[in-house]
Amino acid sequence: MFCAANVAAEASSEIVHGPKVVFEIPLFGGISITETTVIGWVLIAVIFFLCLWLTHDLKKVPEKKRQVIAEMAVEFVNNMVKTSMGEKFMGYAPYIAALIVFSASGSLVGLLGLRSMTADINVTATWALMTFALITYNKFRANGALGYLKSFTKPIFLLAPINILSEVATPASMAFRHFGNIAGGMVITTLLYMALGALSNLLHLEFVLGPFTLDVAAVGIPAVLSVYFDLFSACIQAYIFSTLTMVYVSSAAE
């Protein structure tokens, strides 16, 4: 048992790793630009052209399907923001949409064989910090600086450490929830591929063609798990992250 667990842990530490560094900018002692960032740029470019195409030639009476799609998408997010945050927060709709789109597409690129953007703690932590900044900004605006500081001593000042802890826990839990779900899925999928590769090897169903290796047992089976770990998890985590952001920000403004 121990032996098997050790082997798995060793293998996973070898196989499951952080994003590759694509290039370095020779500034400030070298800034490493990783896969995550590059995938983010590609996604932004794709989404940008998609937006341009969808909103090209909009008519008061829709003539093209793509206008209907664009309107549906916008109305979906608008309704979400309206029901979760209220009418006066409609300005947040594009930000919430950006979170959903970036998170979902960043996770779904895993299906293309790329490394999921959201399997990088830096990404989810950045978004969580942005949400935290919005929460704090809204609390300041609603209560003033003094009111904001005072809110930590409620109901009694003895609870201040716990209040501060819960304030910090909000973005931390958001970041780790999103990261953990996607990265965990990635780890499990990788381990499954390894296990199926070992199984193929054992059953002499492994064919090596130059640099490519075909593990027969690895055909089809991972797709079933992928439906949950890649498709479902990607969409649900994007939804959860944006919903939590809306709820926290709107309740911070009260």
Partner 1 sequence: MLNARITDFFSIDLGTIIPTLLNTIILFLILKHFLFGRVNKVLEDRKNAVAKTYGDADAALENAQKLETEYSQKLEKAKEESAEILKNAAKKAQQRSDEIIDEAKSEASAIMAKAGSEIEREKKRALNQVKDEITDIAYNMASKVVGREVSEADSDRLIEEFIDNVGK
What is the binding site for partner 1 (CB under 8 A)?
Answer: 13, 16-22, 31-34, 36-37, 40-41, 44, 47-48, 51-52, 54-55, 58-61, 67, 70-71, 73-75, 77-78, 93-95, 97-99, 101-102, 120-123, 125-127, 130, 183
Report the alpha-carbon distance of residue 26 to residue 41 in Å, rounded: 19
The 10 Å Cβ neighbour count of residue 188 is 16
Smallest distance from the beta carbon of 94 to partner 1, in angstroms?
Answer: 4
Which run of H or of E encompasses 212? strand 212-215
Smallest distance from the beta carbon of 69 to partner 1, in angstroms?
Answer: 10
> For residues 20 and 154, which CB has a smaller minimum distance to partner 1 in the complex?
20
> For residues 180 and 197, which CB has a smaller minimum distance to partner 1 in the complex?
180
Report the alpha-carbon distance of residue 234 to residue 236 in Å, rounded: 6
- For residues 120 and 102, is the Cβ–Cβ distance under 8 A? no
Smallest distance from the beta carbon of 180 to partner 1, in angstroms?
Answer: 11
Smallest distance from the beta carbon of 93 to partner 1, in angstroms?
Answer: 6
Q: Strand pairing of 206-209 and 212-215?
A: antiparallel
> For residues 130 and 253, which CB has a smaller minimum distance to partner 1 in the complex?
130
208 phi/psi in degrees, rounded to 5: -105, 120
Smallest distance from the beta carbon of 23 to partner 1, in angstroms?
Answer: 9
> For residues 6 and 201, which CB has a smaller minimum distance to partner 1 in the complex?
6
Report the alpha-carbon distance of residue 210 to residue 205 in Å, rounded: 16
Smallest distance from the beta carbon of 227 to partner 1, in angstroms?
Answer: 24
> For residues 147 and 184, which CB has a smaller minimum distance to partner 1 in the complex?
184
Beta bridge partners of 212: 209
> For residues 122 and 226, which CB has a smaller minimum distance to partner 1 in the complex?
122
Amino acid at position 25, single letter: I
Q: Widest CA span of the chain, in angstroms?
A: 71
CA distances, 11 to each of 56, 113, 127, 222, 230 (Å)? 50, 20, 31, 18, 22
